[in-house]
């Protein structure tokens, strides 16, 4: 019987400080046993439990894309015991990864459709995974127009800035980067909150267009009315939820919303599904 609680051992290959407040770091992890990478087949939108011996485990969205081979990538906000320990670790250190866990964005349903990605703050991790996945030459023809609306408080708080700049240059993806405010005279992108920029830049809703929305509760709260105005059907609005988790496999009992476990039945739900679930998240 395979033990679903046993993490795969990994080595930290690289740690990148992402944001100017130094509170977000990206960890590039390499499997110590190469055969484990084969077993860890994932899709954009899934998460994993990062395991630090002596500290515990944390559920974190996978920021690397299934099209990127040889490593996994996670961007971690420093908030508690395990994340603080992770932030103090260095390249070469040994830790564990358990997964992949949860469901993923509905790539089969979105095939042949327009995809609008709306992200805010540090909830951009599985969205990065999704963008890299869709832009892969083997996958790009499967999707029509791709729009990305991504905002942070300041330019220095945006994740993956080098990649954002690269994507800006491409003509097969429409980038709408924004910040809440900045005094940087060289800032050449948008200024404004994500809901406002969504209102200005997002294509109107139709049966051929799906929106993936990931961000802090306040952003989601104000983006939803905008999407309603733009005529997005609720089964075309896809969201990814966060919850305190332990097992990650629907057994330990804490991350439920009604009868659904966010770890196993989610974290990805359509707004239509969420409308029919208790408001407890």
Partner 1 sequence: MKVIKIDKKNWAEGLKRLADKFPLFGPVQKDEFHIFKELHKDELPDLSLQNTRLSPKSVVYPQSETLFEYTLDEKQADHHILKEIDKDYLPRAVVGIRPCDAKAFLLVKRNFDTPEYKDPYWIKAYQAVTLIGYACNTPCSNCFCTTAGCGPFHEEGLDVLLVDAADHYLAQIMSEKGEKFITAAGWDTSAGANDLREQVQTLKQAAETKITARVSTDKLKDKDTTALFEASFWEDVAFACINCGTCTYACPTCWCFDIQDETFGSSGIRIRNWDSCMYPLFTHHGSGHNPRDMKMQRVRQRFMHKLKYYVDKYANGIQCVGCGRCIRLCPVNIDIRKVCDLMNSFES
Q: What does the binding site for partner 1 look like in residue numbers (CB under 8 A)?
A: 1-7, 9, 32, 51-58, 77, 79-80, 83, 93-96, 217, 242-244, 246-247, 249-259, 264, 276-281
Which residue's CB is nearer to partner 1, number 102 or number 195? 102
Which residue's CB is nearer to partner 1, number 211 or number 214? 214
Which residue's CB is nearer to partner 1, number 79 or number 165? 79
The CA distance from 193 to 124, in Å, is: 15
* Smallest gap from residue 129 Cβ to partner 1 (A): 21
Which residue's CB is nearer to partner 1, number 177 or number 239? 239
Burial label, 279 (beta-carbon count in 10 A; 0-12, 13-18, 19+): exposed
* Smallest gap from residue 185 Cβ to partner 1 (A): 34
* Smallest gap from residue 98 Cβ to partner 1 (A): 9
* Smallest gap from residue 18 Cβ to partner 1 (A): 18
* Smallest gap from residue 85 Cβ to partner 1 (A): 11
* Smallest gap from residue 82 Cβ to partner 1 (A): 9
- Give yes or no for a contact between 98 and 8, defined as CB atoms under 8 angstroms apart: yes
On the question of a cis peptide bond just before residue 100, with omega within 30 degrees of 0, the verdict is: yes
Pick the closest to residue 152 from 186, 171, 125 (CA basis). Answer: 125
Which residue's CB is nearer to partner 1, number 18 or number 57? 57
Measured in residues, the chain has a length of: 281
Which residue's CB is nearer to partner 1, number 9 or number 155? 9
Pairing of strands 256-257, 190-191: unpaired
């Amino acid at each position: 019987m395979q033990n679903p609680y046993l993490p795969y051992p990994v080595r930290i290959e690289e740690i990148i400080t992402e944001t100017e407040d130094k509170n977000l770091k990206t960890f590039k992890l390499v499997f110590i046993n190469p055969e484990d990478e084969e077993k860890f087949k994932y899709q954009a939108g899934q998460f994993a439990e990062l395991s630090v011996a002596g500290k515990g485990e944390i559920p974190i969205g996978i920021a690397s894309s299934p099209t990127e081979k040889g490593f996994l990538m996670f961007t971690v906000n420093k908030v508690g015991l395990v994340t603080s320990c992770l932030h103090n670790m260095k390249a070469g250190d040994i830790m564990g990864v358990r997964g992949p866990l949860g469901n993923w964005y509905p790539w089969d349903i979105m095939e042949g459709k327009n995809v609008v990605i709306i992200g805010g703050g540090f909830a951009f991790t599985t969205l990065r995974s999704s963008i890299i996945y869709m832009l892969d030459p083997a996958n790009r023809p499967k999707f029509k127009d791709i729009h990305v609306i991504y905002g942070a408080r300041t330019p220095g708080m945006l994740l993956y800035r080098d990649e954002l700049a690269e994507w800006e240059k491409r003509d097969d993806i429409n980038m709408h980067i924004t910040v809440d405010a900045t005094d940087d005279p060289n800032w050449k992108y948008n200024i404004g909150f994500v809901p406002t920029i969504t209102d200005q830049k997002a294509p109107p809703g139709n049966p051929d267009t799906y929106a993936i929305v990931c961000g802090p509760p306040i952003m989601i709260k104000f983006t939803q009315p905008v999407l309603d105005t733009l005529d997005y059907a609720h089964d075309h609005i896809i969201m990814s939820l966060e919850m305190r988790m332990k097992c990650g496999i629907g057994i330990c009992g804490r991350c439920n919303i009604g009868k659904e476990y966010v770890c196993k039945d989610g974290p990805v739900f359509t707004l239509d599904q969420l409308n029919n679930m208790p408001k407890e998240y």
